[in-house]
Structure 1
Amino acid sequence: MRTTRRGVSSFDGQRLAQARGRRGWTPSQLASQAALTVTVLNQYEAEERLPDPGTLSRLADALGCQVTDLCRPTVVTLRELRERSGASQPEAAEAAGRKRSTYAMLEQGRTKTLAPQAAEGLAALFDVERDAVEAAHAASVAGQASRPAPLALEGALLDRLADHFGMAPEDLLHLAQRLAAGEGGESR
């Protein structure tokens, strides 16, 4: 069962277990080499927990493989490039010459243009070609464009919808917030 904790989203616990098996190591041996507890390693292999980029990098180093060998193939976005490199968002922001919040918007595909000097800085940090950074940014933007914009329930729209459904505006807003959070619309 995958959790919603932060971590490398494309991580594949089965690939980690297979790489460990190819080395002939027990979970205890790999945990020791990667400075983890056996419990945490077991959670990674069972995909009950996602490793952060630094931990995933340590696991790959210990196993003598690339970070990508421990991940599912995905469309490579800026986030994916950053995670694979083991860099944090603040480090990437600095390399791009941006504030962290501005870089986060770039990574999420909310900023449609990527300055050449930012692409160069990120390419150096991620140890990839500038073209790879530009392609990853384009994938981030495309991913953002495929998500529908959230509906803003406020003002006259909220009042008209509440009237239509025979609800108080604050009840309709609460229902919409629960639905958006994935809690469902059933009454409690």
Structure 2
Amino acid sequence: MEIIQDNSGSKPSGDLVPDSDLLIFLVQDVRIGIPAVMIDHVFRMVAVTPLHEAPPGIIGIINYHGEIFPVFSFRKYFSLQNKSLSPKDYLLIVQSERSLAIIADYIEGVFNLSGEIIPPEKIDPGIQGITGFYRCKDGLLVVTHPQDLISLTDQKKIQAMKEFLAI
């Protein structure tokens, strides 16, 4: 991936800090970036316990060091072509007020964004879960913040499920 260096003085918008590092990963052919400081761990896929009637994007749960994490799929969230989970896939453990495990097909690495992030409203006024888009020399990068992927209502449902499973 080639990041365009923009020295025009414009800064990224949204919750991202200017000159912030993002972990870049692929899901199908979509390149996605999340703040690298939120990543606790990255590892190969493990067994996921499916959940029915789960919030948008959530496909199941895993046990990570004794804690239950919802597993988030951008394939489901973006209505991309479905694919069975594979041992070659990755799980990104995100630690925040809304902790979750995100499925990735491939990890590109950590990159520093120094140019402008295009607000999602300029592309689609109704889009949810996206902080913005970043122009790279070889395509677009979807920039997201994990707390934007799960609503407060859905987080309460997940918390209730965690409490039930802890009994």
TM, length-normalised to structure 2: 0.23
Which structure is larger by alpha-carbon Rg, 1 or 2?
Answer: 1
TM, length-normalised to structure 1: 0.21
Higher RCO, Cα 8 Å, sep 6+: 2
Richer in helix (by share): 1
